Structure 1
Amino acid sequence: MTYDNQCFPASREKFLSNWITQEKSEALGFIKNQELLGYGIIRPADNGYRIGSLYANNLEIADQIYQGLTIHKNNCQVFIDIPSSNLLAQKIVEKYQMLPVFETARMYNKTFPNVAINKIFGVTTLELG
């Protein structure tokens, strides 16, 4: 949960324990020297698969997690919601020739939450609000 706390502005231990074990989903972590450096989850969508969360210390780790999550998803559509403020996340969607489907905006009435936006390569989900 410590890694997730860098990328999400509130503790969500119970949510995550259910999120990463939901039926028909797959979760991967990237561990080096017994330290978690990123993780991702892929789950079925209406037409294909949706990745979220995809959090990683850098672009190379995010790409390796992305590849691991999609390796057996040949000829299937894969969707990921990236934060536009992380320019490295844009590099992944460009590398895999992903196209935008729609855009959303997040709005805050005070200040931007204290999160490591450079580690967020895919948000958890837009569906839950």
Structure 2
Amino acid sequence: MDIRAMKREEVDWAVQLAAKEGWNPGLSDAECFYRTDPEGFLIGLLDGEPVGCISAVRYPEGFGFMGFYIVLPEHRGKGYSLDLWKVAMDRMQGYNAGGDGVVEMIPKYLSAGFNLAYRNIRYGGSPPSLARNSPDVVQIGPNSDGLHVTFDEVAAYDRRCFPAPRDSFLRCWLNNPSYAVVSDGRLKGYGTIRRCWEGFKIGPLFADDAAVADELFRALCHRTDGEGPVFLDVPEPNAAAVKLAESNGLKKVFETARIYTGPAPDIDLDKVFGVTTFELG
């Protein structure tokens, strides 16, 4: 099997594979993912035909994240997955590599040199009709209500909740409907919602506290116009985030194991009410 970096259109193929696996990616994820690290998405080819993929995305400051680990069903059990894994891990040499894996595989992750940090819980459902009812909530991105908040302010807040700068990703991601809470001249949180193969996903949802998170959650849910379910990926250690999801009628869908090859990064996990994506962290 030949393994190389994907071309841009091949990332679309990887997203489609993820959808078939039931991971419910966003409809426009591929572009933002690719911009984050064009060399970070690997494809395995057998006689020129794709049989599997994996991502090993490098961020600045020695942080990386792995995902999209998929082999076509008809090619499983032939060693191709291990070949992909080895190449991805080679690319992560010198990086603290994170990932969101299935809980049942925790023993294998530990034996491969990863450390279990905590669990992320995906909540989903149809929340009650929520109005965008706070004057402190402003839209950000290309369709903003005005110059209430700058990109640099959003990026600085994001840096408190994510282990590395990711400006290229954010400049793309904020093209999705995105809101911030600005009070007393200070940014107190922001969030994004995107349409997925099924319903919508909110992520990230970063906020100073539960009250700010609730304001953002309401504004983001309001953008769905009542269409389809809403999903929110919550870090289990943040009890306020768990309460936010459950108090709005969302139910547990599944869990992942957040793992790292090094120590868990020092971020404000109590401000993470919604993980950005299970694919890129």
- TM class, shorter-length: over 0.9
Distance 1:91 1:72 in 2: 22
Percent identity between the aligned chains? 39
Aligned to 1:61: 212
SS at match of 2:249: coil
1:1-129 pair list within 5 angstroms: 1-21=155-175, 25-73=176-224, 74-128=226-280
In structure 2, what residue type is equivalent to 1:96? N
Distance 2:251 2:199 in 1: 14
In structure 1, what residue type is equivalent to 2:167? E
Aligned residues, how many?
126
SS at match of 1:81: strand
Task: Return the offset for 1:3.
Answer: 0.4
Task: Return the offset for 1:99.
Answer: 0.9
> Which whole-Å deviations, capped at 9, do the CAs of 1:53-94 have from their partners, x for residues lacking one?
000000000001000001142152000111011111001111
Structure showing greater relative contact order (alpha-carbon pairs closer than 8 Å, 6 or more residues apart): 1
Higher alpha-carbon deviation: 108-117 or 50-59? 108-117
SS at match of 2:179: strand
Distance 1:87 1:68 in 2: 21
Over alpha carbons, which structure has the higher Rg?
2
Distance 1:49 1:35 in 2: 28
> Which whole-Å deviations, capped at 9, do the CAs of 1:15-60 have from their partners, x for residues lacking one?
1111111xxx200000112211000000001111000000000000
List, as ranges, runs of 4+ consecutive aligned residues in structure 1 with deviation greater than 6 Å.
none
In structure 2, what residue type is equivalent to 1:34? G
SS at match of 1:102: strand
Higher alpha-carbon deviation: 116-125 or 71-80? 71-80
Stretches of structure 2 that go unaligned for 5 or more consecutive residues are 1-154
Q: CA RMSD, aligned part only?
A: 1.2
Task: Return the offset for 1:101.
Answer: 1.1
Distance 2:259 2:172 in 1: 27
SS at match of 1:3: helix
Task: Return the offset for 1:127.
Answer: 3.1
SS at match of 2:203: strand
Stretches of structure 1 that go unaligned for 5 or more consecutive residues are none
In structure 2, what residue type is equivalent to 1:93? A
Task: Return the offset for 1:110.
Answer: 2.3
> Which whole-Å deviations, capped at 9, do the CAs of 1:84-111 have from their partners, x for residues lacking one?
1111100111111111111101112321
